[in-house]
Structure 1
Amino acid sequence: MIWLTWRQLRPTLITAAVLLGVAAVYFVITGEHIRHTYSSDLSTCRSNCAQVLDNFAGSYQNLRALIQLVVHAVPALIGIFWGAPLIAAEFERGTHRMAWNQSVTPTRWLAFKLAGGALASAVAAGVLSLLFTWWAGPQDKIDASPFDWNVFGTRDITPVGYALFAFALGALLGLLTRRGVLTAMALTVAVYVGVQVVVATQIRPHIMPTQTMSVSVDAQLLSHPVDTTITGSASGPTVTFKVKAPAGSWKLSQTPVVDGSGAKLPMSAVQNCIEGPVQSQSDLANCLAPYNPHVGVRYDPASDFWPLQWYETGIYVALAGVLAGLCFWRIRGHRD
């Protein structure tokens, strides 16, 4: 049975190995160049290091974004082209009967197919993620938060969990649709994307206990334009304070500006200050000081990154296990 499973998966596995080999060569060659450039820029810059590093990151920004899309897509492609046809194609061709009529039980047949495909899926996604995480490391240090959705899901170990889930999902949908390979492929894409959105937006922010902090809207805060903005609108002046969470953390939400009593800062107070003799953001802070304005920020600290990686990967691996269990439960009902 192991030999038969290998023969069936061999073309796909060889193709995947070749593609991973090409990717590895590309990542190693270009990654070494990127790291050399990064080290050189750091060693030669003087007072303008921030601008030099921004230029360095910007030169690779589009390429990194493109590769991120590819890494995002790989688990879905595994579910579509490895998982969905795994069983559905066998039923379409009727080749499952050959194994079942040779003293191989459907459960054993399914176990070997799922184990082989799951191992290949985990290795492919893991190797690609490892290569890309190393390649993008110098750029990520400059302009990427590890909690950004397009970073968190394409680095380190989460792609392995995504790949296992997508593979098991495709296998189950292929088993349910039986001879409908294309239907299973389409359903795999729809369900996988839906689960990804739900987990990223509704589950991930609540996995770890969050922390809160109160940030005073004072002259020190307003002296950093990157942290705050003052905009205008058709209905009049509007002040928006974009307060940053601690470095490396994941900002989840921010309260409106409130006064010392905890009530929302009245817009009339802001308008009076803006329309008055305010020449700078520092003047604005001094004008608002009697109200004791401050903003509440809820965030996950930087130390939560790896626990979140493990928890989310565990969620997807558990889901993959449940889907595999449903495959075994469903296969017992097939007799042809």
Structure 2
Amino acid sequence: MVWVTWRQHRVQLLTTVALFLALVVYMSVLGADAAALLGWLPVVPVLVGMFWGAPVLAREFEQGTHRLAWTQSVPRSRWVTAKLVLLGTVVTLLGLALGQAVTVWTSNVGADRFGDSALFGATGVVAGAWWLFAFLLGTATGGVIRRVLPALAVTLALFLVVLFGVFDARAGYAEPVRVVSDTPVAAGTLPTGAAWVSRSGEEVVDPPECAGVDRTTYLDCVGKAGYTEVQYFQPADRYWRFQWTETGILLLAAVLLTGPVVYRVMKRPV
């Protein structure tokens, strides 16, 4: 199975490794100027889902080769398990390698890897989790649709829904810290919201005394009305806590997505 998996997926592996090395060179040469390109890193895992995961089952069904592959000496369960374990391990290691490379880059250029949503998902352990999740999402989609091109499109759509959903939910992984101060929060934190608090302690999003006031004089208005700014944020020392939280969410989602599909594939008549 190792040899068969290598023969069928060597193009994806070699292409991914080549692109990874090119990105490492790009970051090394440009330094801080590489930030514009690295902002697109959150969508990189979807390519793994589309071109690694989706064809695993969809191509076999579409071309009818599953009838031959699953009637040989290797049982269907072993065929599916070996494919998912081998390829899943490879994509996870590649994702972790990318996460380590980007982490080193952020340290060298002083980039914010916690407050920046794009860099958070492309650093640390969660980078490997995103790659594995995308791969298993593509595999599950291919197993249900059983056609490669439709599976690619559906994988892309589902991944983007999950990606933006996680972006919205990330700030809520823990109760934010509340600070009553006009001083900006320290660099490297993850801001989650802001409001105003009156002298009596009432917290409002928009002081009613300054409703409709021109933005150029808005701060003067709230100051004269006796309001102080309230800031909510996640401190930088929660970076690894959030990394492991998001990793657990992605792994659980991957299992819930893939488990029923793999079970159906192994029980389905050839």
Matched residue, 2:175: 209
Q: Does 1:315 align with 2:249?
A: yes
Offset at 1:308? 0.2
Matched residue, 1:200: 167
Cα 1:254–1:117 change in 2 (3 A) is same
Superposed CA deviations along residues 100-126 of structure 1, whole A, max 9, x for unmatched, are 111322211110111122112112222
Offset at 1:297? 1.9
Q: CA RMSD in A?
A: 2.8
SS of match in other structure, 2:122: coil
Matched residue, 1:190: 157
Instruction: Give the counterpart letter for 1:80 in structure 2.
Output: M
Matched residue, 1:94: 64
Distance of 1:13 and 1:266 partners within structure 2: 59
Matched residue, 2:209: 267
Distance of 1:205 and 1:263 partners within structure 2: 20
Matched residue, 2:230: 296
Q: Does 1:147 align with 2:115?
A: yes
Matches within 5 A, 1:40-79: 60=33, 63-69=34-40, 71-79=41-49
Superposed CA deviations along residues 36-73 of structure 1, whole A, max 9, x for unmatched, are xxxxxxxxxxxxxxxxxxxxx5xx2xx3111331x222
Instruction: Give the counterpart letter for 2:165 in structure 1.
Output: V
Offset at 1:145? 5.9
SS of match in other structure, 2:250: helix
Higher-Rg structure is 1
Distance of 1:149 and 1:80 partners within structure 2: 23
Instruction: Give the counterpart letter for 2:173 in structure 1.
Output: I
CA contact (8 A) 1:64 1:136 kept: no
Instruction: Give the counterpart letter for 2:209 in structure 1.
Output: M
Distance of 1:103 and 1:330 partners within structure 2: 21
Matched residue, 1:331: 265
Q: Quick check: 114-123 or 254-263, which moved more? A: 254-263
Offset at 1:163? 0.9
5+ long unaligned stretches in structure 2: none
5+ long unaligned stretches in structure 1: 35-56, 216-220, 222-242, 276-280
Offset at 1:262? 2.1
Size of the alignment, in residue pairs?
265
CA contact (8 A) 1:254 1:296 kept: yes
Q: Does 1:24 align with 2:36?
A: no
Cα 1:256–1:108 change in 2 (3 A) is same
Normalized against structure 2, the TM-score is what? 0.86
Cα 1:249–1:174 change in 2 (3 A) is same
Distance of 2:155 and 2:203 partners within structure 1: 48
SS of match in other structure, 2:110: helix
Cα 1:292–1:171 change in 2 (3 A) is same
Matched residue, 1:2: 2
Offset at 1:98? 2.1
Q: What is the aligned counterpart of 2:104 among 119, 129, 134?
A: 134
Q: Does 1:249 align with 2:189?
A: yes
SS of match in other structure, 1:256: strand
Offset at 1:293? 2.4
Q: Quick check: 257-266 or 99-108, which moved more? A: 257-266
